[in-house]
């Protein structure tokens, strides 16, 4: 089957939905009509799976009417109508129905696809407390003897241990449980996830009570997180009996603990709630977290009881189907202001705690740091200031040096001095040009003879001279050299190896990406955590174009070197880093996600309050910069990462320390990634 790059199913996403119909009690024909109408809407939206509430074909609140043959026969007629309609849907539908099996009545979920019943799952746990009396009408599926039943002229699989796998989207393997099943200490879905289910479905009829909706969200969210799965929860709503209860039609879709979509409660009209689930992300999380596999082995007996039903859906892949899921442009930086402040606060204090611990255990009371007037060294200095406060040491124990070279601009030099004054550290300036000229003479470099040859040697002589000074100053004053390079630079190899900005005694920024550092600096400026309100210098630094300032600039004062002109925009490269490092996605999928995030001006906002990013990248720009990232990350830069200084890991987005998240050979090739990159239709 042909695949379209712009189709979400090509990239192992699955569109799913939870339905909240308005039912009529004991009117299966009407309820079937409502089910069909909502299912047709879901199919038209490209859904692969839609779930309806518990006992929805009859209505949950039928009570002893469930033992009336007329009602049960009517339910079968309703199922037959849904079966007939399903021949037109490329989608699986899960509906709730009371069914008779071997002289017993079961509360069941019926899985329908392609005009056939693919399987029937009976409810395991029957609540018989409070307002619930299910054991009065139903039998538990755990004690059912039958594994196959005759239903509407078909021989179908029956039992609580069924998994349903879509043949043309194998990562979509789902399990169904019913209401109370998820409220018990060990839900059936726990073992189903260990048996391979990536999507867990719950048909529920949980009534509305004060505070109950929030509790259900927590319950479902935690189950999705523990099982590293998606969880679809749908509940009965309008039309159910109000004799003793009220109903809110709560529906939620979680993915690995993250809420993707939530239905409005207490609505009077039928509704559908959609979400696009990243099945590959779930699969890779399970693969990465080896304790998941250990759990499979520990519970092998329970896992072995599951049976898998396979069926195709013939999903449409040859036409575009845009991802409706919101993909944040800045995965390391929450778009929500409150969450962003929480993130910055936590990252900052992780860095502070780590450096404070290193100073305490080393017995040192001073730190040595180079200040460029740029972003990374600014944030590192702010961390050092808070560490001194925490350890009750004077900030003058921070020995800060700005070291102008051949290309240092007046702006950054001025900012460096203003920053050091703001912090209240011991501030000094060392002109490294004389020592650099001496080294260039020793090397017989053309620049020492007056020739304007600004090659890599010319650049690295300056970077190395700065670092050499810092280490010798640390020896002289009994201090610790603080590294300032960030995660983005390590990923792209944008640092001078060895005696250069690659090396330090301890690096507080090594697992913080560039896009997050800018927000950390802004957060410090706005929160006043360093104890001063004069934050203009921090805002000036945020507005300074990123440059290593190692090559002399132009006559009009503009920097000759623009970092992002060489290695690509950090906002794109941090996006690439997150999805390559954290999830190992193929380049084509990373590009698809990036295209989704950047194609719409309103889709993603640079998280600066009212500021909206003006940048927009088309697919060609995304592919070009992704190619830069892939080659630098996999082929040219690993040798630098194989011997980095100690540094604290700050987030689940990963670090590049060989002692932490990333171990890789220094002589690897990037061929397979660059070949897969060609799958991106950049000319479309």
- Known binding residues for L-glutamine are 129, 206, 212
Q: Residues 348, 350, 355, 357: is their CA dihedral positive or negative?
A: positive
Instruction: Tell me the CA distances in angstroms from 457 to 317, 408, 435, one per residue in order.
Output: 52, 17, 14
Residue 62 annotated in active site: no
Q: How far apart are CA 263 and CA 251, in angstroms?
A: 5
How much of the chain is in helix, strand and coil states, percent to nearest 5? 40, 15, 40
Pairing of strands 173-178, 271-278: unpaired
Could you list the residues known to form a binding site for ATP, using ranges: 370-377, 484
Residue-wise DSSP of 586-622: -HHHHHHHHHHHHSSTTT---SBTTB-------HHHH
DSSP at 545: P
- Cα-flanking dihedrals φ and ψ of residue 149, to 5°? -135, 160
Q: Are 465 and 435 contacting, i.e. CB atoms less than 8 angstroms apart?
A: yes
Which of 179, 344, 425, 436 is flagged as catalytic?
A: 179
Contacts of 354-360 with CB under 8 Å at 24 or more apart are 354/508, 354/647, 354/648, 355/383, 355/384, 355/387, 355/482, 355/506, 355/508, 355/648, 356/387, 356/390, 356/391, 358/480, 358/506, 358/646, 359/387, 359/391, 359/480, 360/391
The token duo for 514 is 């560039």
Which of 108, 123, 240, 514 is flagged as catalytic?
A: 123
Contacts of 389-392 with CB under 8 Å at 24 or more apart are 389/531, 390/352, 390/356, 391/356, 391/359, 391/360, 391/365
Q: How far apart are CA 168 and CA 172, in angstroms?
A: 9
Q: How far apart are CA 388 and CA 367, in angstroms?
A: 10
Query: Which of 17, 648, 656 lies closest to 348, judged by CA?
Result: 648
Place of tokens 């209240």: 424
Could you list the residues known to form a binding site, using ranges: 129, 206, 212, 370-377, 460, 484, 489, 494-497, 640
Cβ neighbors of 87 (< 8 A, separation 6 or more) are 114, 115
Q: Assign 107 to helix, strand or coil.
A: strand
Place of tokens 């623009």: 562
Residue 179 annotated in active site: yes
Q: Are 92 and 166 contacting, i.e. CB atoms less than 8 angstroms apart?
A: yes
Residue 602 annotated in active site: no
DSSP at 678: T
Per-residue HEC secondary structure of 249-315 comes to CCEEEEECCEEEEECCCCCCCCEEEEEEEEHHHHHHHHHHCHHHHHHHHHCHHHHCCCEEEEECCCC
Query: Which of 191, 217, 200, 218 lies closest to 292, judged by CA?
Result: 191
Q: How far apart are CA 578 and CA 589, in angstroms?
A: 13
- Neighbour tally for 289: CB within 10 Å: 12
- Cα-flanking dihedrals φ and ψ of residue 253, to 5°? -130, 120
Q: Are 47 and 17 contacting, i.e. CB atoms less than 8 angstroms apart?
A: yes
Q: Are 26 and 59 contacting, i.e. CB atoms less than 8 angstroms apart?
A: yes
Place of tokens 């189950």: 223
- Neighbour tally for 184: CB within 10 Å: 13
Q: How far apart are CA 636 and CA 492, in angstroms?
A: 8
Q: What angle do CA 670, 676, 680 make, to 5 degrees?
A: 130
For the annotated catalytic residues, the residue numbers are: 54, 123, 179
């Amino acid at each position: 089957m042909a695949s379209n790059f712009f189709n979400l199913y090509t990239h192992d996403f699955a569109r799913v939905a939870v339905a909240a119909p308005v039912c009529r009690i004991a009117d299966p024909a009407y309820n079937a009509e409502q089910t069909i109408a909502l299912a047709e809407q879901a199919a038209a939206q490209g859904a692969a799976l839609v779930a309806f509430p518990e006992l929805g074909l009859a209505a949950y609140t039928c009570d002893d009417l469930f033992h009336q043959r007329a009602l049960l026969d009517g339910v079968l007629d309703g199922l037959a109508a849904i079966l007939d309609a399903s021949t037109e849907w490329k989608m699986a539908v899960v509906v709730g129905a009371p069914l008779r099996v071997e002289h017993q009545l079961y509360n069941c979920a019926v899985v329908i696809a392609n005009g056939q019943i693919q399987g029937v799952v009976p409810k395991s746990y029957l609540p018989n407390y409070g307002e619930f009396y299910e054991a009065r009408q139903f039998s538990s599926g755990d004690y059912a003897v039958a594994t196959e039943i005759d239903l509407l002229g078909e021989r179908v699989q029956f039992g609580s241990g069924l998994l349903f796998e879509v043949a043309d989207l194998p990562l979509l393997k789902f399990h169904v449980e019913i209401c109370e099943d998820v409220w018990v200490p060990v839900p059936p879905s726990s073992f189903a996830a260990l048996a391979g289910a990536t999507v867990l479905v719950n048909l529920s009829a949980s009534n509305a009570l004060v505070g109950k909706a929030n509790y259900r969200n927590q319950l479902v969210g935690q189950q999705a997180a523990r099982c590293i799965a998606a969880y679809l929860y749908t509940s009965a709503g309008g039309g159910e009996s109000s004799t003793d209860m009220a109903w809110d039609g709560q529906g939620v879709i979680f993915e690995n603990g993250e809420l993707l979509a939530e239905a409005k409660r207490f609505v009077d009209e039928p509704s559908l709630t959609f979400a696009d689930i990243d099945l590959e992300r779930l699969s890779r999380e399970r693969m990465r977290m080896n304790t998941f596999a250990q759990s499979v082995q520990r519970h092998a007996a329970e896992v072995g009881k599951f049976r898998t039903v396979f069926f195709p859906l013939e999903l449409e892949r040859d036409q575009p189907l845009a991802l409706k899921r919101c993909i944040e442009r800045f995965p390391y930086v929450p778009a929500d202001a409150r969450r962003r402040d929480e993130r910055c606060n936590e990252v900052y204090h992780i860095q502070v705690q780590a450096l404070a611990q290193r100073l305490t255990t080393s017995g040192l009371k001073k730190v040595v740091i180079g200040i460029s007037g740029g972003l990374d060294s600014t944030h590192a200095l702010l961390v050092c200031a808070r560490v001194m406060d925490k350890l009750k040491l004077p900030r003058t124990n921070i020995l800060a040096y700005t070291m102008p070279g051949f290309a240092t601009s007046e702006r950054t030099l001025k900012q460096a001095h203003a920053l050091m004054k703001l912090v209240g550290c011991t501030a000094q300036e060392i002109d490294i040009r004389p020592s650099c000229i001496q080294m260039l003479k020793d090397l017989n470099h053309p620049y020492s003879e007056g020739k304007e040859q600004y090659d890599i040697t010319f650049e690295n002589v300056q970077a190395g001279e700065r670092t050499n000074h810092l280490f010798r100053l640390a020896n002289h004053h009994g201090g610790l050299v603080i590294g300032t390079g960030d995660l983005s630079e390590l990923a792209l190899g944008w640092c001078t190896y060895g005696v250069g900005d690659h090396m330090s005694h301890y690096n507080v920024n090594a697992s913080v990406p560039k896009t997050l550092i800018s927000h950390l600096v802004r957060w410090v400026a706005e929160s006043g955590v360093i104890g001063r309100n004069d934050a203009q210098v921090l805002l000036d630094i945020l507005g300074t174009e990123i440059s290593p300032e190692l090559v002399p600039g132009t006559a009009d004062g503009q920097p000759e070197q623009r970092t992002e002109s060489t290695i690509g925009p950090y906002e794109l490269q941090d996006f690439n880093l997150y999805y390559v490092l954290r999830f190992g996605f193929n380049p084509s999928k990373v590009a698809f996600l990036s295209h989704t995030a950047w194609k719409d001006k309103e889709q993603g906002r640079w998280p600066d309050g009212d500021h909206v990013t003006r940048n927009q990248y088309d697919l060609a720009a995304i592919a070009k910069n992704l190619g830069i990232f892939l080659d630098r990350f996999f082929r040219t830069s690993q040798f630098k990462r194989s011997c980095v200084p100690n540094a604290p890991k700050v987030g689940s987005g990963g670090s590049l320390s060989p002692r932490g998240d990333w171990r890789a050979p220094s002589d690897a090739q990037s061929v397979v990634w660059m070949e897969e990159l060609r799958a991106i239709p950049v000319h479309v």
